[in-house]
Structure 1
Amino acid sequence: MIKKILLALLAVLFIVQLIRPEENVSDSVSVNDISAKYEVPEDVHLILQKACTDCHSNNTVYPWYANFQPMAWYLDDHIQDGKRHFNLSEFLAYEPWRAHHKLEELEEEVEENKMPLDEYVRMHEEANLTSVERIKLLNWSKGIRAEMAADSTLDLTRPKRKK
Structure 2
Amino acid sequence: MPGFLRGALLGFCGLVAGIQLIRPARTNPPVDQSHTLEAVVFVPPKIESILQRACDDCHSDLTRWPWYSNVAPVSWFVIDHVDSGRRHVNFSEWFRRDTKNPAEYTRERFQAMCRQMQTGDMPLTSYLLVHRTAKLSQDDIETICQWTKTGVLPN
TM-score (structure 1 length as normaliser): 0.77
Instruction: Name the CA shift for 1:143/1:91 in 2 (closer, same or farther; >3 Å).
Output: farther
Higher relative contact order structure (alpha carbons within 8 Å, sequence separation ≥ 6): 2
The correspondence for 2:20, drawn from 17, 20, 26, is: 17
Q: Does 1:57 align with 2:60?
A: yes
> What residue is the counterpart of 2:141 in the other structure?
134
Q: Does 1:84 align with 2:87?
A: yes
Which deviates the most, 61-70 or 91-100?
91-100
| Secondary structure in structure 2 of the residue aligned to 1:92 | coil
Q: Does 1:104 align with 2:111?
A: yes
- The CA deviation at 1:144 is 4.9
Q: 1-side partners of 2:108 and 2:47: how far apart?
A: 20
| Secondary structure in structure 2 of the residue aligned to 1:123 | coil
Q: 1-side partners of 2:92 and 2:147: how far apart?
A: 17
- The CA deviation at 1:5 is 4.5
> What residue is the counterpart of 1:158 in the other structure?
none
Instruction: Name the CA shift for 1:98/1:14 in 2 (closer, same or farther; >3 Å).
Output: same
Identical pairs, percent: 29
Instruction: Name the CA shift for 1:75/1:48 in 2 (closer, same or farther; >3 Å).
Output: same
Whichever residue aligns with residue 123 of structure 1, its letter is V
- Runs (4+) off by over 4 Å: none
Q: 2-side partners of 1:84 and 1:28: how far apart?
A: 15
> What residue is the counterpart of 2:122 in the other structure?
115
Kept in 2, the 8 Å contact 1:92–1:99? The answer is no
- The CA deviation at 1:4 is 4.3
Instruction: Name the CA shift for 1:22/1:65 in 2 (closer, same or farther; >3 Å).
Output: same
1:144-159 equivalent positions in 2, closer than 5 A: 144-145=151-152, 147-148=153-154
**Length, aligned pairs only:** 148
- The CA deviation at 1:84 is 1.9
**Cα RMSD between the aligned structures?**
2.2
- The CA deviation at 1:114 is 2.1
Gaps of 5+ in 1: 152-163
Q: Residues 16-56 of structure 1: CA distance to partner in whole angstroms, max 9, x if unpaired?
A: 21322211324445531101232222211110011111111
Gaps of 5+ in 2: none
Q: Does 1:73 align with 2:86?
A: no
Q: 1-side partners of 2:92 and 2:148: how far apart?
A: 15
| Secondary structure in structure 1 of the residue aligned to 2:129 | helix
